[in-house]
Amino acid sequence: MSITVSNISKSYKTVKALQHISFNVKEGELFGLIGPDGAGKTTLFRILTTLLIADEGTATVTGFEVVSEYKQIRNSVGYMPGKFSLYQDLTVEENLEFFATIFGTTIEENYDLIKDIYVQIAPFKDRRAGKLSGGMKQKLALCCALIHKPKVLFLDEPTTGVDPVSRKEFWEMLKRLQQKGITILVSTPYMDEAALCDRIALIQDGKILEIDTPNAIIKHYPKQIYNVRANNMYQLITSLNAYEHSHSVYPFGEYVHYTDKRTDFSPEDLLRYLESRKLSEIEIEKTQTTIEDTFMELAK
Amino acid sequence: MKTILYIIQKEFKQIFRNKGMLPIIFIMPILQLVILSNAATFEVKNIKFGYIDNDHTSTSRALVERFDASTYFNVLTDFPSEALASAAMLNGEVDVLLHIPTHFERDLQKEKYNNLGVTINAIDGAAAGVENVYVTQIVQRFNQNLKIDLFQISDQQIQPTSIQTIPLFWYNETLNYKTFMVPGILVLLVTMITLFLSGMNIVREKEIGTLEQINVTPIKKRQFIIGKLFPFWVIGMGLLTVGLVLAKVVFNIPMVGSLPLMYLYTSIYILVVLGIGLFISNFTETQQQAMFISWFFTVIFILMSGLFTPIESMPNWAQIITEFNPIRYFVEVMRMVMLKGSGFMDILPQLSKTLLYALVMDGLAVWSYKKTS
């Protein structure tokens, strides 16, 4: 096991940030922590990266205990905080060199690990980090977190505030790093990214709702979801909510994801009901369950 | 060692790239030294002087002329009445009012004795005190001449034997205020710049989030702290040098004592200031908080340093507090060494107290710096 977390709890005064969290991450696994803002993801990261001490419970990273053996952990993990936290007034190269030096290594020594990522920012190596675009900053931060060849990589919301193209690229990079044997623990509020992980933990209000592979989590979803669409979105949602058989109603892009309480649900019934509520251009069709639907269902 | 050197190098790079900070570090101290040393004077000049002459004799006019002749007083007006004079004082048109009573000359000759009224605007207490001394001096001198002019030979017998004091001002013969202000202001600059910079430096890393990244690395506490603070120690020593050069070239302050001794003391003193700065930044979350706390201590330290008001005239409890004021020792040492030429043994008490202070402060600061939050 690369990371083991057992029964971890942490409170900030009256707020219970984490309540009895337990999970394991296997070696070389890409593990996702999926949850909304304030779910406790960052607190968990800070405990695992030895920045914060849990109120109760134990955790190990690469076999070392997070409280008593924190020194060994600091040598063998890479951490990329959610907020860009490199020196904005140093250049790309200087930042990288700085982190290499304080880890007691050099850029050359582990260049093969960061090569794929670094070549993309190499043309800007004399530019100050503060003057880089959001995607470039992420790449630089990732390089800095990798420069000492860590066994485990902690990425706290690495793609928040990054454009869709850079996000996609970033996940491709993570996949490549995983193939080099690095265990990756990544957190994200984006449900679409969850499907890219080997296993995910859905987390809300400091509690883990479910841990499994993304496919298994989707399969656990008990109901058939329908995409519903009409000419008036607002009225559609209020009408569906008012429908006596409705189980869940969530807006999802240009559609509404609808599930019904009945097992023998027929879309025609719903169509007639919606028409009676003066809606037109109605479309009802079956759709695939997504992680987001599962999360909404579990978080109910 | 390599890590420390690299952090120092990084720190210097950041200081020299910070375009807003550079002028504050190097231009501001020079400007302050030049401006403050010329402006922060205890001499009171251009006193607005008014008088009410109820006597109108040659003696009363001679007295007023004395004030006119003085470079300290600007003789403004002869007020015809008390009411008008009080109104002028209220409006701030006069600072000092001299009341010459009726029959001033006649009574002096007859009684050999008379009283003069002096009213002083004491909104600025320190200035009022100085003005009082000036007035007394002028009246006394006038008094002596008067004896020769007015008194008869027969009066000689009852004239008391007068005792005269002839002061000699050692170490600052001309009582040039710049001579004792410049070393003091130099102390302030070295203290302020190093305290503010070191106080804001680590908290800045907290604010921009880089500290969190640093804390996850295996870097050692002492490596990080030494690497971060050493550049400010260098800057402090650099400031001392700039200040000493200015003191010599611009103000021609005598430097009687040994320069290496001054540098030795300053090198220890800056350790105290850096310790305080680090201590502050350990307990603050933003640069703004650090700045306000630094200011709070600087103001207290400066006002209680003996730079502007002598420590001997403070109440007992305040004197005890000044024992914990590092600026006090620095001011004392700078003045002693620069003006009096004190040697190592003379400043040993200050030096050992500062060294102790440095050990305690730096110890506390390092101890309270936590890599976990």
- How close B365 gets to chain A, by Cα (Å)? 19
Q: What pLDDT is recorded for position B348?
A: 93
Q: How far apart are CA B193 and CA B185, in angstroms?
A: 12
Provide the 3-class DSSP secondary structure of residue A217.
Answer: helix
Q: What pLDDT is recorded for position B21?
A: 79
Contact across the interface for B10 and A85, Cβ inside 8 Å:
no
The contacts of residue B55 (CB under 8 Å, 6+ apart) are B100, B101, B102, B103, B104, B105
Out of A81, A84, A89, closest to residue B18 by CB: A89
Distances (CA, A) of A6 to A90, B216, B242: 40, 22, 60
Query: A263-266: long-range contacts at Cβ-Cβ below 8 A with a sequence spacing of 24 or more?
Result: A265/A224
Topology (CATH) of A3-214: Rossmann fold (3.40.50)
Residues of B within 8 A of A128 (CB-CB) are: 17
Q: What pLDDT is recorded for position B151?
A: 61
Contact across the interface for A52 and B6, Cβ inside 8 Å:
no
Residues of chain A with CATH 3.30.70: 225-299
The helix-helix angle for A164-179 and A134-146 (nearest 10°) equals: 20
> Is B18 part of the contact surface with chain A (CB cutoff 8 Å)?
yes
Residues of A within 8 A of B217 (CB-CB) are: 74, 99, 102-103
Q: What pLDDT is recorded for position B78?
A: 84
Residues of B within 8 A of A92 (CB-CB) are: none
Closest residue on chain A to B9 (Cα):
A98
Q: What pLDDT is recorded for position B24?
A: 80
- How close B284 gets to chain A, by Cα (Å)? 18
Contact across the interface for A51 and B7, Cβ inside 8 Å:
no
- How close A71 gets to chain B, by Cα (Å)? 6
Q: What pLDDT is recorded for position B309?
A: 81
> Is B309 part of the contact surface with chain A (CB cutoff 8 Å)?
no
Q: How far apart are CA A29 and CA A23, in angstroms?
A: 13
Q: What pLDDT is recorded for position B373?
A: 54
Q: What pLDDT is recorded for position B355?
A: 95
Residues of A within 8 A of B213 (CB-CB) are: 79, 81, 85-86, 99, 144
Contact across the interface for A86 and B210, Cβ inside 8 Å:
yes
Q: What pLDDT is recorded for position A4?
A: 92
Retrieve residue B220's tokens. 């050692």
Q: What pLDDT is recorded for position B244?
A: 92
Q: Mutation target for A interface from B216, B222, B371, B373: give the one with most A CBs within 10 A.
A: B216
The one-digit pLDDT tens for each residue of chain B (373 residues) are: 788 888 898 889 888 888 887 888 888 888 888 888 887 776 778 888 999 988 888 888 888 888 888 888 887 778 888 888 889 888 888 889 999 988 888 888 887 778 889 999 888 887 888 888 888 888 888 888 777 766 655 555 555 566 777 878 788 777 777 887 888 888 988 999 899 888 888 888 888 888 888 888 888 888 888 998 999 999 999 999 999 998 899 888 888 889 999 999 999 999 999 999 999 998 998 989 999 999 999 999 988 988 888 888 889 999 999 999 999 999 999 989 988 888 999 999 999 999 999 999 999 998 888 766 5
Q: Answer yes or no: pTM beyond 0.90.
A: no
Out of B14, B213, B372, closest to residue A50 by CB: B372
At CB < 8 Å, which residues of chain A contact B? 46, 49-53, 71, 74-75, 77, 79, 81, 83-90, 94, 97-99, 101-104, 128, 144
Residues of B within 8 A of A150 (CB-CB) are: none
> Is B248 part of the contact surface with chain A (CB cutoff 8 Å)?
no
- How close A175 gets to chain B, by Cα (Å)? 23
- Interfacial B residues in 151-180 facing A (CB < 8 Å): none
Topology (CATH) of A225-299: Alpha-Beta Plaits (3.30.70)
Tell me the count of A-B CB pairs closer than 8 A: 67
Determine contact, residues A144/A95, Cβ cutoff 8 Å: yes
Q: Give 10-residue mean pLDDT values along chain A (300 residues).
A: 90 89 92 88 91 91 90 90 86 92 88 88 90 87 91 90 85 90 90 88 89 87 86 87 87 87 83 85 86 81
Q: What pLDDT is recorded for position B263?
A: 95
Determine contact, residues B171/B321, Cβ cutoff 8 Å: no
Q: How far apart are CA A72 and CA A52, in angstroms?
A: 16
- Residue whose pair of structure tokens reads 């008391």 in the numeric block: B160
Provide the 3-class DSSP secondary structure of residue A70.
Answer: helix
> Is B16 part of the contact surface with chain A (CB cutoff 8 Å)?
no
Residues of A within 8 A of B7 (CB-CB) are: 102
The contacts of residue B157 (CB under 8 Å, 6+ apart) are none
Here the ipTM equals: 0.75
Backbone dihedral angles phi then psi of residue A35, each to the nearest 5 degrees: -175, 160
Determine contact, residues B109/B150, Cβ cutoff 8 Å: yes
Retrieve residue B2's tokens. 């390599």
Residues of chain A with CATH 3.40.50.300: 3-214
